[in-house]
Structure 1
Amino acid sequence: MMDKRDAVPGNYTCEVTELTREGETIVELKYVVKTQLLFTTIESVEYTICNETLLIIPCLVTNVGAKSLKEMFVEWKFRNKHIFFYDGDKNKSRPEREFSSAYIVPDALLTGNASLMMDKSDAVPGNYTCEVTELTGEGKTTVELRYIADLWFSANDHTLIIIFSMLAVLLFWGSDITVILKYNSNITKEKIIIISVAGLVLSILVIVGAVFFIPGEYSTKRTSGLGLIVVSTVILILLQISMFMIAPAIGMLPINIILLIVQVLGLLISVVGLSLCVSECIPVHGSLLISGLGITALVALLGLVYIFVGSKQKTTQPTRVRLLCGRKWGLHMLLILMSLNRHA
């Protein structure tokens, strides 16, 4: 052994002698100039919950000179902690326990690709350092892995979904109060209680759904909340039918049937939009869902207007009947008196 400053390239002979044996060997000492490996500059990579299971942290060398994998050695570090290495001379690789899914593709090393791949579940945001060594070159590069919390629905779409669902509930209660006040004498208390309880269930479903459906990234909680909002539309349609049937001055007229058909159409559009949005991390069909909820709220508004108008017709019709009956009664009395005068 000697200090590197004293080393001189050339052949060194080692002679060993013992009592009965002797021998020698020659070793050549070479001075190799290490070249600096160059990397494609990639400062950071980003991933979201919508990314596929496999994440790739790039490490691309542009001037690899190795002709065999035995000349290659790769080491990955996370915040200066060793997490993975590959030794081409021994054809051996090993990830650390915290990054058990990490691996590289050895055959890609000779083309300069030493990118690290791992499951998204093992990924930790931070700085990852890739160190590559070959016989005549070495170098390293650092890539930052960033996690981006992406919104499932945009702020505008989220607001419209909440507004349409809440508006439909408020319009139902408007229709319910109108029917109870105008047709109280014709509706049994049991029907009033049933409709009110169903309306309360409708309101709870929409409120709970809105709480679960808070702005944020794709999750089971948010999909459940959106599902509650859409399912509540079924109760709304059933209540709409009930109120049309129990109002004596309205009933199930053709216009009411048309309104209900349009509302069912809105429900179907909402369900289709829901299924497409839930099955995709990015709701590209969100407009379909919003259109269905918008149609449902619009029909609920038209239903309230029609019930209100029908209630006014109910109050005017009895007055006309009483006037007609009064005129006929007076005419009969006049005829009776004329008949009695003739007999007299």
Structure 2
Amino acid sequence: MYVKWKIQGKLFFSFDGTRQAVRDPMFSSAKLVSELDLSKGVASILLDKEEAIVGNYSCEVTESNREGETTVELRNSTVVSCGEENISTPEENCGSWFLPVESACIIVLLFLAIIFCWAQLSVIASKFETVLHKKISIIIACGIFTIVAVVGVILFVPDGYTPGSRAGLGLIVVPTVILLPLQYLLFGMVLDSLSKTAYALIGLESLGYITAVAGFALCVSACPVLHGSIVIAGLAIMAIGALLSLVYVCFVGSRIRDHQPPRKAVEEPLNDAKGVMLERCVTKEKN
């Protein structure tokens, strides 16, 4: 087994299988951590602090007809206090978490779902007679969900893999569960008993929520994100479900309105009947 250590491409240490050799007097303290561990793939070396130069080090290992090379970077770190070092954190090294397009899709789909929910409430309030306290309860729930979503977006928008951005994504995805009972209540205000279509739409939104939460769980621990498309797909399913629910509510409302008899058409026959009865009474009195 042969080992070669280089700095900036310049050889300074080698091992030919039997003997360690220092090729550069500037690294006279260089030695393998353990020759016995070479067979395990460990070819690390030790250097005195004074000889350890900041830069890129490369290690080439040759065994029989196999070769491998690894590059590591040596940095200076400043001690802030005992046991602590001023080193860059994984969040700082990660850079961008989501692509700008992915972030935009997540935000747009979230607000589309919210808009469709408010639109359903508006349609129901204008076309159906419902109990006032139910309307107020749903308005409060929609308002709270909207506020939480706005806070989540504010935290999520700043780029980078930070605790704030992760908390923002959590506030975007997790509270969308509120849409499921809200959808059930909205259908309950329109229908005497929920139809198969209503249950199917609620099931579709539930599937979207489960997908979005699964994507969030996969994204929150990875940078750069690898499963952002799962979060987007889940929110897209929820937005589509909310849109279809809005269409269904409008359809039910128009059907009920078409089948409801006009008030004038009902009142006129009643008035005619009253007139006939009065005429008969007057005729009898004259006779």
TM-score, normalised by the number of residues in structure 2: 0.66
- CA shift, 1:70, in A, is 7.7
Q: Do 2:13 and 2:30's aligned partners in 1 also have CA atoms closer than 8 Å?
A: no
Q: Which residue of 2 aligns with 1:196?
A: 139
Structure 2 residue 160 is the aligned partner of structure 1 residue 217: yes
Q: Which residue of 2 aligns with 1:228?
A: 171
What are structure 2's unaligned runs of at least 5 residues?
32-45, 62-69, 78-84, 277-287
Q: Do 1:182 and 1:311's aligned partners in 2 also have CA atoms closer than 8 Å?
A: yes
Query: 5 Å matches for 1:104-119?
Result: 117=74
Cα distance change, pair 94–294 in 1 and its aligned pair in 2 (3 A): same
Q: Which residue of 2 aligns with 1:166?
A: 111
- CA shift, 1:94, in A, is 5.0
Q: Deviations over 1:173-207 (max 9, x none)?
A: 11111112222x3323x211111110011101111
Q: Deviations over 1:29-82 (max 9, x none)?
A: xxxxxxxxxx97xxxxxxxxxxxxxxxxx544337689756886547xxxxxxx
Q: Which residue of 2 aligns with 1:207?
A: 150
Higher helix share: 2
Q: Which residue of 2 aligns with 1:187?
A: 131
1: CA distance, partners of 2:22 / 2:204: 72
1: CA distance, partners of 2:25 / 2:71: 10
Q: Secondary structure in 1 aligned to 2:10?
A: coil
Letter of the 1:182 counterpart: K
1: CA distance, partners of 2:163 / 2:157: 12
Letter of the 1:297 counterpart: A
Q: Which residue of 2 aligns with 1:266?
A: 208
User: What is the Cα-based RMSD across aligned positions, in Å?
Assistant: 4.4
1: CA distance, partners of 2:214 / 2:118: 27
Structure 2 residue 62 is the aligned partner of structure 1 residue 62: no
Q: Aligned pairs, how many?
A: 240
Letter of the 2:162 counterpart: S
- CA shift, 1:221, in A, is 1.3
Q: Do 1:60 and 1:115's aligned partners in 2 also have CA atoms closer than 8 Å?
A: no
What fraction of aligned residue pairs are identical, expressed as a percent? 25
Higher-Rg member (1/2):
1
Q: Deviations over 1:228-272 (max 9, x none)?
A: 111122101111111100224x64111111101111011111111
Q: Which residue of 2 aligns with 1:298?
A: 240
- CA shift, 1:282, in A, is 2.3
- CA shift, 1:316, in A, is 2.3
Q: Which residue of 2 aligns with 1:176?
A: 121
Q: Do 1:74 and 1:114's aligned partners in 2 also have CA atoms closer than 8 Å?
A: no
Letter of the 1:187 counterpart: V
TM-score, normalised by the number of residues in structure 1: 0.56
Q: Do 2:12 and 2:23's aligned partners in 1 also have CA atoms closer than 8 Å?
A: no
2: CA distance, partners of 1:119 / 1:325: 92
Q: Secondary structure in 2 aligned to 1:319?
A: coil
Q: Deviations over 1:248-307 (max 9, x none)?
A: 4x6411111110111101111111111111122222111111111001001101111111
2: CA distance, partners of 1:122 / 1:149: 17
